[in-house]
Amino acid sequence: MTDAVKIVVDDKLVLGEPFTKAASEFKARSPGKSALVLGSTGEVGREVVKHLMASDAFDKVTVLARRPIEYTGPNAEKLKQKPADFENTEQLERDFAGHTHAFSCLGTTRAKNGKDAFYKVDHGYALNAAKAAKTAGVEHYSNCSSNGADKNSMFLYMKTKGEVDSEIQDMGFPRVSIFHPSMLMCDRKEARLMERAASYVMPLLDYVMPGKMTIPTSTVAWAMVNNTFKKVDTPVAELLTNKQMLDEFKKSQ
């Protein structure tokens, strides 16, 4: 039996008064909105679910995941769960139907799963999901990518992320937001040796080059959800850098 992923919203979650105000204003001017989260059992995805649930800005929050979620926190009745099948595009379209907003936090690593599996998830599954969302009429698509993403890069990871960013931006969503975090800082249970070593070195480099090297997963999620609340009157495709996410979060506290 697959172990459930526990997601808990408690007093450790830092939102800030500007966030809660923006969420309330968004709900007032755009009632009846619903969000769907991809990659909801990953490090960033779990944080996105926390922030969406705590915001109370959406009538429904759906998670597509291969593992069940045990949620503890406010607005639990709004959380819906569906099994994920990113190879079945027709089912994906049905899953997205009725949702106005989507947050994609899909991703794996080449080191963990190998080159082919990495490309299958980070390129194939990511684009299958985005295409299904567009067909289903999603209004705002938010994609968590990576700092340095570039479709012309000679490095597989950066090239793959860049290709997905480019294709999503060209799909014609009314609004699409791409987020480029640097090294994600979190208490990863399966942290590998290089990640553990980097977790000690990177904060020192951050001191020298603030806003460039690292970012907490909770801050990425805060930025993704908070960005959704901004009023946008015309179609837009936007890119938010690591520093922009950090600066916005700091200003809100």
**Catalytic residue numbers, as ranges:** 157, 161
Largest Cα separation within the chain, whole Å, is 49
| Sheet of 175-180, strands arranged across | 79-83, 60-65, 34-38, 101-104, 140-144, 175-180, 236-241
CA-based Rg of the chain, rounded to a whole angstrom? Answer: 17
**Tokens coding 123:** 């390129």
C-alpha closest to that of 107 among 53, 6, 195, 181: 181
Taking the C-alpha atoms of residue 155 and residue 133, their distance in angstroms, rounded to an integer, is 28
CA angle 48/229/139 to nearest 5° reads 85
Cα torsion 175, 176, 182, 188: sign: positive
Query: Could you tell me whether strands 34-38 and 214-216 are parallel, antiparallel, or unpaired per DSSP bridges?
Result: unpaired
Going through the chain in order, the beta strands assigned E by DSSP cover 5-8, 34-38, 60-65, 69-72, 79-83, 101-104, 140-144, 175-180, 183-185, 214-216, 236-241
C-alpha closest to that of 194 among 130, 129, 111, 85: 111
Q: What CA–CA distances, in Å, run from 75 to 53, 82, 184, 188? A: 6, 18, 28, 26
